[in-house]
Amino acid sequence: MKFRYAMVCSSNQNRSMEAHSLLKKQGFDVSSYGTGAHVKLPGPSLREPNVYEFGTPYKHMFDDLRRKDPELYKRNGILPMLKRNLSVKLAPQRWQDNAADGCFDIVFTFEEKVFDMVLEDLHNRDQVLLKSVLVINLEVKDNHEEAAIGARIALDLCEQIEAVESWEDSIDDIMVSFENKHRRKLLYSISFY
Amino acid sequence: MVGIMNPVSREKLESLSSSVKFAIDLGSKLELCRQLKHDLLEEDAADLSEFLPRIFDLYSDPSGPVRKFATEIIGEIGVKHLEFVPELAPFLITVLEDATPAVARQSVACSIDLFRHTLEKIAIRGLYSSELDSDLESSWSWMLKLKEKIYSIAFQPGSGGIRLVALKFVEAVILLYTPNPNGSLEPPPNEGTSIEFNITWLRGGHPLLNVGDLSIEASQRLVLLLDQLRFPAVKSLTTSVIVVIINSLSAIAKKRPAYYGRILPVLLSLDPPSFVIKGVHVYGAHHALKNALLSCLKCTHPSAAPWRERILGALKEMKAGGLADLALNQVHKINGSVEEEKDDSLLIKEEKPLTKTYDAAGSNVGRKRSGTEGSSDLAEKDEVAGKRVKATPSASEESTKELNRNITVSQGDISSTQSSTRKVDVDTGPVQQLVGMFGALVAQGEKAVGSLGILISNISADLLAEVVMANMCNLPPTHPHTDTDDELLEDMCIVGSDTQAKYPPSFLADVISLSSTFPPIASMLNSQQSVPNKIVKTEGEEEVDVVADPNSALAYAGMAHEDENALLATDLPVSSNIVLPGMKIDPPTPSDIHDTGNLESGIPGLDSSFRNDGLSDTQAASSLVSTDIEDASQEQATSFGGKSPLHVLPSISIDRSEELSPKAAVTDSSSMVSSTATSVVSSCPFVLPKMSAPVVNLSEDQKDDVQKLAFVRIVEAYKQIAVAGGSQVRSSLLAYLGVELPSELELQKVLREHILSDYINHEGHELTLRVLYRLFGKAEDESDFLSCTTAASAYETFLLAVAETLRDSFPPSDKSLSKLLGEAPRLPKSVLNLLGCLCSPGISEKAEESQSGDRVTQGLSTVWSLILLRPPIRDVCLKIALQSAVHHLEEVRMKAIRLVANKLYPLQSIAQQIEEFAREMLLSVVNVDATERTGAEGLISESHKDSDLEKSSNEHQSMSSISKDISADVHQSDTSHSGSSPSVPEAQRCMSLYFALCTKKHSLFGQIFIIYGSASKEVKQAIHRHIPILVRTMGLSSDLLEIISDPPSGSENLLMQVLQTLTEGTVPSAELIFTIKKLFDSKLKDVEILVPVLPFLPGDEVLLLFPHLVNLPLDKFQAVLTRLLQGSAHSGPVLTPAEVLIAIHGIVPERDGIPLKKVTDACNACFEQRHIFTQQVLAKVLNQLVERIPLPLLFMRTVLQAIGAFPALVEFIMEILSRLVSKQIWQNPKLWVGFLKCALLTKPQSFSVLLQLPPPQLENALNRTAALKAPLVAHASQQNIRNSLPRSMLAVLGLAPDTQSSSQAQTSQAHTGDTSNSEKDAAVTEKSKESSSAS
C-alpha cells in the first residue's frame, strides 16, 4: 500500500471507524479522526447525549454505557459499535489536534461539514512540505447501515486510487468512473502539507 | 557535532550507498535510503561534497520510489547546505522532467523549500552587508532558473499531476515576493533567528534583490494565475487544477489582502455552470469556490470590505446563504460591529409603544370598524413598515408610528399587504408560504371562506400541522384588547381551564377546527410568541378575533386601569378567543381570566399578569422586547400585521432587556422548540411599567414537567372536542408535538398512553402512524448520528410498546396489529421478534396456551400480509413463518404449514426459498450424524447464553424469542431421540412442511424417495404416516408417474405404499398400470409392486405372473389372493377361485424357480378360505386338473386336502382316482405315493378304485401301504367282488397264492426304483397334512 489514508467524520465513532476498520482489515495504512468538539453518543433522549472528550478510550465509553442502560445501548447499536471500535484502536482522535500524525496522501470525509473543516484546518497549517493531499468527501448518512455501505464504497475507491501510479494525474478519471459506478456524488479538493 | 571527519561513518555511508544500488527488492532499497538519508544529514559540508556524485548516481536507479527518495535527499541536503545549490539546482531541473510524476513532484516540492531558504539567506545576507559573495549569486541565479522552469510547468497546459505542485510553487513564490501585512516589519536582529520571512525587510535596499521588481513579478504571476480561471482558459483545465488554483488564490487573497481587489472579481465571475468539465465534476470546483468565497468573506482587512456584499450575493446564489450569514456574524463579532443589532434592540423597544397605542386606539375601533375605508391605506403602510423593519432598523421609530396608525384602521382586506410584505421575508419555505396564504385568506374574511376550505382540504394533515407549528412564532405575546373585547377572555377558558369548552358554533367548520386547534397549542407552546390572529369579520361589523394568548393571566381585561400592556404571562393556560359572529363586545369579565391564569402547574409567580389600558404608560413598558425582534416584528408586519391592526405587538426579548428574565437568554429565536421551553420560564408579571419583573428560574426537570402538563392538557382537550371533527389535523399536531419537543420521551409516553387507553376511539392507528412517521422521518432525515440514532430508538420503543399492547389487550381476531405493522414505515428487529414469538410460541408462554392457537393464527396472518405488503422485509417475515412451520407443537405447525404451502408457496418470488428451507429440514432428519449433533449442541448452549444475557438485561420477550424457540426445539429433539436418528414426532416436525409442498409441486416428492433409503426406522415410519394423505391429495400426476417409473433403490417400500394408496378405492389409470408394469419388467423385478394393480390387470396377464405371486411371502400372497378374487369394484374379480387354484397347480417349481414350499403354501392359503374355495370349486378344479398332462405335481396333495376339507367329496374323488388309474398314475412315482395315501385315507371307498389297478401296481401299492392290505383283502374277499376279480388280482391279494411270488418280484423292483422319491413325497404329504390340519 503506497498511500496513507485518513478517515474522518465528526465523532470518530461510526462512519470513520467503520471505514477504518474495513480498510485496516484490507491491509491499508489507515488512521481515523473526528472533527467535532466532543465525541457525542446518543443517550436516552435527544437532550441527554453522552458526551466524551476526544481521547477517552472506547473501552471506557463501552463500560460507561453498559453500566447506564445496557438494553438501550445494545438495541440502538451503540454498544456493538463501541466494541468494534475498541478492537480497532484505543480512543477517538480529533483531526485538528493530531497534525503531528504526519502527512496523509488521501483523506476521506463523510460529511460536507467535516470536509470543510478538514480543508480549513489544512489551509491553516503552514504548507511548507508542498506535499499534496487529496481530500475526498463521500456523503454518508450517519447511521449504522449507511456507514457500512459507505465504508465499502470508500474501500472501493481507495483500491482504485491505490491502483494508479499517482492520483494527481488520474483523479478526475477515477472520480468519473466512480460516480458512474456507484451513482454517488463525490466532492474532492486538493490541499498541501 | 558536525565537522569531525568520521571514517567509520564515511565507510558506512559508502557501503550504504552501494548497497542501495545493489539491493534487489524495492522495500530493502527504500529502507537503506532512509538510513542513508538519516546518516547523510549528520555529515558536514566537506564530506558531503565528496559524496554528492554518489547520490546523483542513486538517481539513475530504475525504480521511481528510489529516484524520488534520492531527490528528497538532495533537497534536504540543499536546504541544510545552501552552498551546494549551484550543483543541486541543475539536478533538480533534470528531475523535473522525470518520467515518473511522483519524482517530478518531489523535485518541485524540494525546489520550493530550497528557493525559500536561498531567498531568505540572500535577503538577510544582503541586509547586513552590501556585497554578496559570488557563490550566493550563482546560487540565486540557479534558483531563478529552477523557478522559471517550474513556472513553465505551472502554466503549460496538460502537464498533469506535477502541475498541481507547480501551481502551489507559484503561490508560494507570490507570497514570498509580496509583503506580508501581518508579518514582522523588521528583519531579525541577527542571522539565524527564525521569524517568518517578509519581503518588507528589503525595503531599505538590497544588492541583489529589488522589492519593486519582485513585486512586479509576483503580480505578473498572479495575473497568469487569474487568467487560468478566465474564460475560455478555464475550460481546458481539469477539476483538480481548478481546485488548486482557486485554493491558491483564496489563500493569496487572505494572506495578501492587497490583492483582494484583483482576485475577487475573477473568483466572482467564475460561473459555476461554466466549469462543467466532462460533465461531471462540477462539485469539486464549485465547492472549492464556495469555500474560497467564504474564507474571503471572513477576511477582516479593510480592502475586503467593499466586496462583502457581492460575495454574499454570490454565495446566496450558490445556496450557501446560511453559511454566509454565519461567516458574516463571525466577522461582526470580530469587528465588534454590533450596531445593527443595537438597532434591532432599539427597534424593539420602540415598538413597544405601539401596542399601547393600539390599545388606546382600540377604544375607537368599535366606531371605526364600520367601514373598510382605509384598508388599502393600511396595506400600504404595513408594507412599508414591514420593509423598513427589515432593511433599515434605524427606521423603527418611523415604522412604529406607522404601525400605530395602522392600528386604528380596521383590517378589512389586507391580504395584498401581506403577500407583498411576505416577499421581504428571507425565509420562504413552502410552509412559510402556506402560512402566508392562510393569513391572506383569513384576512379576507367571509369572502375567502370557500377558498380557505378548499385549501385546507387540499393539503395533508401533516403539512397543515407544520403550518400551524410554523405559525406559532407569529402569536402575539398578548392578544389585542379593545375595551370591549372581554368575550375573548371568556373563550380563552376553553383550553386554558378545560372547564368550559365553548366553541364558535358557526363560521366555517374548517376555520373553526383550524382556529380552535391553533390557539391552544400555540399558547402552550409559545407563551411568548404570537400566533396568527384570525380576525374574521362577522356579518355584522364586529370583528371576530381568534386570538391565542399565552398570557392567560392577562385575564383581566378592561379593568379600571387604563394601561394594558406588559403581557408577559408565562402561563401555559391559553387564552384563545374566538369571537362569535354577531356577538357583542362586552365589558371584560375578569373572573374568567383569572381562571385561565391559574395553571395546574402551579408555578409561583407565573400567573400574575397585568394589563394597562392606557397609552400613558405604554412607553414605559418598552422594556419588553421581542426575543427575535427580527422575526417577530417582521413576521407580524408581514403576515399578520396587516390583518389585525392590533396585532403588531412586541414580543419579549430577553436577550436585550435585562429586567426581563435572564433565562430568556437561552432562547433561540429560530427554534420554536427551545423558545417554548424558555418562554415558559420567562414569564414575569408586569405590575407596573418599568418595574423589573421577578424571574422564576425553572430547573430542567420543572420545565419538563410543565411541558408534560401542557401536553397532557392538550391531549385531554382533544378528547373532548373529538366530535368536532378534524381529527386528522389534531393527530398530526399531537404527533408533531410529541416528537419535536425537547422532552420528547416523556411526551411520547403520554401519547402512547393516550393512544392505548382507547385505541379505537382515539384513532389510535392513525395517531400511532403519524408519530411513527415523524420519528422515522427524523431518523432518516437527520444526517447526524446523535439525532438519528435517538429517533430510531424512540421509534422502536414506541412501535414496540404499541404493538405489545395491541397484542395483549385485543382479541386475536383483531386486525389492528396487522394493520399497524403493515403500515408502519419500518419494522425494527424487536418488533419482528415479537411477531416471531406470536407465530412460534415458546415454552415460556404457557400461560397463554389456551389462546395460543388463535394468537398463532393472528401472527401468521400478520406475517402473510407483511410478506405481501412489504417486499423489503419479505425474507425476514418468511423466516418467521418457516420457523413456525417446523414448530414442535403440531397445532402451530399445521397452521403455519397451511399458510406457507397454500398462500406463500404460490408466490413466485419466495417459492424457491421455501423449497430450500423445507428441503433442508427434510435432509436434516436424514443426515443427523454425530458431528452435526455436537455442532447443534454448541449452538444451543450459545443461544442459551444469549438468552440469559438478555434476560439479565430485562429483555424478556423481544430479542431472543426466536433463538429461544429454536433452541427449545432443537433441545427437545435432542432429548427425545437418544440414538442417532430423530424420533417419529421429531421427524414429522421437520418433514411436514416438505410434504405439504409436495402436494403443491409434485416433483418435490422425488426427494422423499431419495432419502427414504437412507432414513432411519423412525423417519420411515413418519414418512409412511404421511404418505396416504399426501398421495391422496396429490393424485396421480405426470410428475408422480415419473417418480414411480424410476424409483431410487431402497425406496421400494415407499413405492409400494404410494401405489397402494393410489389404487385404493379407485381404478388406477392406464398410465399408472403401464408404468408399473414397465417398472416391473425393466427395473424392479419385485412382483409386489404389481400387487396394488393386480385387480386391474387382465386375467391372462395375472396368470402369467402367478408364479411370482406365489413366490411372495405368505401373508402377501394371501393379500394378493384376496385382491384377485375380489377384484375391483368396477371390473369384478380378476380370477375365479378355480382359476386361481389351477394357476397354482400350473406352477412347476423347477421351471419357474419357485420353491415347492411356496406353492404348497399357496395351496394351503387357498384351502384356508373355504367359503371361497368351496366344494364345488374344488371339484371343478380337480376335474380340470386331472385332465392335465402331465398331471400337476401337487395334484394328489390337493386331492388329499380336498378330502380333508370336504369329506363329502369322497365320491367325486373316487371318480378322480379311477381316472387316475386309467391314466396310469403309478408311472409318476410322486403322484403314486399320493395316490396311495389318498386311497388309504379314503378306504373303504377307495377299495374299488384300488381293485381297478393292474395287479402289479396293486401289489406295489399294498407293499407300500401295508395298512391297506388287510382291509382290501377283506373287501375283496366278499364273494361278489372276489368273483369279479381276475385271478392275477386275487393272487396279488393273496387270495390265489400261486401267483404271489412273481408279482412280489415285480413289486420289489418297482419299490427299489422309487424309494428315494417316495420317501420325499411322503414327507411332503405329511407336512401338508399338518398344515392343513393346523388351519
Burial class of residue B599 (count of CB atoms within 10 Å of its CB; 0-12, 13-18, 19+): buried
- pLDDT at residue A34, as a whole number: 92
A55 belongs to a structural domain: yes
Show Cβ contacts of residue B235 under 8 Å, excluding neighbours closer than 6 positions: B274, B275, B277
Site of grid cell 459506478: A181
Reported ipTM: the value is 0.85
CA distance B378 to B171: 59
Sign of the CA dihedral B1197, B1200, B1206, B1210? positive
Burial class of residue B208 (count of CB atoms within 10 Å of its CB; 0-12, 13-18, 19+): middle
- pLDDT at residue B476, as a whole number: 64
CA distance B742 to chain A (A): 6
The distance between the two most distant Cα atoms of chain B, rounded to a whole number of Å, is 184
Sign of the CA dihedral B1233, B1234, B1238, B1241? positive
Q: Give residue A79's domain range.
A: 39-88
| Residue A124 shares a structural domain with residue A84 | no
Tell me whether residues B784 and A142 touch, CB distance under 8 A: yes
Which positions in chain B touch A67 (Cβ < 8 Å)? none
The count of residues in chain A is 193
Any B CB within 8 A of A74 CB: yes
Which positions in chain B touch A186 (Cβ < 8 Å)? 283-284
Q: What phi and psi values does residue B271 have, to the nearest 5 degrees?
A: -95, 115
**CB nearest A176 (choices: B280, B787, B830):** B280
CA distance B751 to chain A (A): 16
Half-sphere exposure of B386 (CA within 13 A, CB side): 30
Say if CB A143 and CB A8 are below 8 A apart: no
Q: Which three cell numbers stand for residue B441?
A: 385568506
- pLDDT at residue B475, as a whole number: 67
Provide mean pLDDT across the span B309-319: 77
| Residue A72 shares a structural domain with residue A161 | no
Provide mean pLDDT across the span B486-511: 39
Q: Which three cell numbers stand for residue B140?
A: 540565486
Tell me whether residues A132 and B783 touch, CB distance under 8 A: no
CA distance A58 to chain B (A): 17
Specify the pTM: 0.58
CA distances from B186 to B123, B195, B203, B255 (A): 13, 10, 10, 18
- pLDDT at residue A82, as a whole number: 93
Q: B210-265: per-residue pLDDT in tens?
A: 888 888 888 888 888 888 877 777 777 777 888 888 888 888 888 888 888 888 88
Provide mean pLDDT across the span B877-884: 84
Q: What is the mean pLDDT of chain B?
A: 66
A94 belongs to a structural domain: no
What letters, b where the CB count within 10 A reaches 16 and e where it falls short, cover B347-378? bbbbbbbbbbbbbbbbbebbebbeebebbeeb
A176 belongs to a structural domain: yes
| Residue A105 shares a structural domain with residue A55 | no
Q: In which order are the strands placed within the sheet that holds A186-192?
A: A29-34, A4-9, A106-109, A132-138, A186-192
Q: Which three cell numbers stand for residue B501?
A: 369548552
- pLDDT at residue B594, as a whole number: 42
| Residue A45 shares a structural domain with residue A118 | no
A95 belongs to a structural domain: no
The residue ranges of chain A whose pLDDT is under 50 are: none
Q: Which three cell numbers stand for residue A98?
A: 493530531
| Residue A115 shares a structural domain with residue A180 | yes
| Residue A58 shares a structural domain with residue A125 | no
Site of grid cell 427580527: B630
**CB nearest A189 (choices: B162, B243, B779):** B243
CA distance B288 to chain A (A): 7
CA distance A98 to chain B (A): 23
Any B CB within 8 A of A43 CB: yes
Q: B396-455: per-residue pLDDT in tens?
A: 444 444 444 444 333 333 333 333 333 333 445 677 788 887 777 777 777 777 887 787
Which positions in chain B touch A73 (Cβ < 8 Å)? none
- pLDDT at residue A19, as a whole number: 93
CATH of residue A17's domain is 3.40.50.2300
Q: What type of residue sits at position B1303?
A: S
Q: What type of residue sits at position B971?
A: H
CA distance B1162 to B1141: 9
Tell me whether residues B785 and A49 touch, CB distance under 8 A: no
A105 belongs to a structural domain: yes
Sign of the CA dihedral B592, B593, B599, B604? negative
Site of grid cell 559508502: B14
CA distance B482 to chain A (A): 42
Which positions in chain B touch A143 (Cβ < 8 Å)? 779, 785, 788-789, 792
A153 belongs to a structural domain: yes
Collect contacts of B1242-1248 with beta carbons under 8 A, ≥24 apart: B1242/B1203, B1242/B1210, B1242/B1213, B1242/B1214, B1242/B1217, B1243/B1268, B1243/B1271, B1243/B1272, B1244/B1271, B1244/B1275, B1245/B1210, B1245/B1211, B1245/B1214, B1246/B1214, B1246/B1217, B1247/B1271, B1247/B1272, B1247/B1275, B1247/B1276, B1248/B1214, B1248/B1218
| Residue A114 shares a structural domain with residue A183 | yes
Q: B1120-1165: per-residue pLDDT in tens?
A: 777 777 776 666 777 777 787 788 777 777 777 778 787 888 888 8
Q: Does position B593 have pLDDT exceeding 80, yes or no?
A: no
DSSP string, B888-902: SSHHHHHHHHHIIII
| Residue A183 shares a structural domain with residue A111 | yes
- pLDDT at residue B666, as a whole number: 38
Q: B146-159: per-residue pLDDT in tens?
A: 888 888 888 877 66
Q: How many independent structural domains does chain A possess?
A: 2
Q: Which three cell numbers stand for residue B582?
A: 354577531
Provide mean pLDDT across the span B595-611: 39
A31 belongs to a structural domain: yes
Any B CB within 8 A of A70 CB: yes
| Residue A22 shares a structural domain with residue A76 | no
Listed range (B517-521, B540-544, B1060-1064) with the worst mean pLDDT? B540-544
| Residue A138 shares a structural domain with residue A172 | yes
CA distances from B609 to B103, B473, B575, B680 (A): 79, 21, 13, 14
Q: What band does B190 get if pLDDT is binned at 50, 70 and 90?
A: low
End of a domain among A68, A88, A108? A88
Pick the residue of B111, B743, B785, B955 with the most A CBs within 10 A to test the interface with A by mutation.
Answer: B785
Tell me whether residues B793 and A72 touch, CB distance under 8 A: yes
| Residue A118 shares a structural domain with residue A30 | yes
- pLDDT at residue A29, as a whole number: 92
Which positions in chain B touch A14 (Cβ < 8 Å)? 785
- pLDDT at residue B1131, as a whole number: 67
CA distance B790 to chain A (A): 6
Q: Does position B999 have pLDDT exceeding 70, yes or no?
A: yes
CA distance B279 to chain A (A): 9
Listed range (B231-245, B456-470, B501-515, B921-935) with the worst mean pLDDT? B501-515
**pLDDT over 70 percentage in chain B:** 62
| Residue A74 shares a structural domain with residue A168 | no
- pLDDT at residue A107, as a whole number: 93
CA distance B219 to B226: 10
A93 belongs to a structural domain: no
**CB nearest A129 (choices: B109, B169, B281):** B109
Alpha helices in B1093-1225 (DSSP H): 1099-1110, 1114-1126, 1137-1146, 1149-1152, 1156-1168, 1175-1185, 1195-1205, 1210-1222
Tell me whether residues A169 and B101 touch, CB distance under 8 A: yes
End of a domain among A27, A53, A88? A88
Q: What band does B904 get if pLDDT is binned at 50, 70 and 90?
A: confident
Q: A109-163: per-residue pLDDT in tens?
A: 998 889 989 988 988 887 777 788 999 999 888 888 889 999 999 999 999 888 8
Which chain B residue has the Cα nearest residue A2? B65
Which positions in chain A touch B789 (Cβ < 8 Å)? 42, 76-78, 143
CA triple B493-B496-B499, angle to 5 deg: 60
Cis bond upstream, residue B62 (ω within 30): no
- State the angle between helix axes of B101-128 and B64-80 in degrees (0 to 180), rounded to the nearest 10: 0
What letters, b where the CB count within 10 A reaches 16 and e where it falls short, cover A118-156? bbbbbbeeebeebbbbbbbbbbbbbbbebbbebbebbbe
Any B CB within 8 A of A136 CB: no
Tell me whether residues A168 and B161 touch, CB distance under 8 A: yes
